[in-house]
Amino acid sequence: MKQKKEKRITLRLTPEQYEAIQSKADTAQMSTGAYVRTAALRHRVVVIGGLKEFTHELKGIGRNLNQLVVLSNMGKIQDVYLGETMEALGQIYCQLRDLAEQEKR
């Protein structure tokens, strides 16, 4: 459950500071407020490039699996070969693991 944000902090920034923060928030795909809260509370803000492509690929696989389940429940298909799907998921897993290892360094 989201907590209601009742308190406000106002601060002054130079145009350069504001642009730098805004740019970092955009890179992290966060709102400026969420980025500043995260950074101010000493949480690490980690930006991993290339995740958008992974989520796009995973969404596509999920949609295809959902369509297969619907067809199966309708009785239109009975056997499905998922070897290629498992291979694609394995490749995505390996690539994500490699990205995570790079982040640890």
CA angle 54, 60, 65 (to 5 degrees): 125
pLDDT of residue 23: 93
pLDDT of residue 54: 82
For the record, the structure tokens of 48 come out as 């991993």
pLDDT of residue 103: 65
Q: What is the pLDDT along the chain (105 residues), one digit of tens a residue?
A: 678 888 888 889 999 999 999 999 998 889 999 999 888 887 776 777 777 788 888 898 999 999 999 999 999 998 888 898 899 899 888 888 887 777 665
All residues at 6 or more sequence positions from 24 whose CB lies less than 8 Å from its CB, including other chains:
35, 45
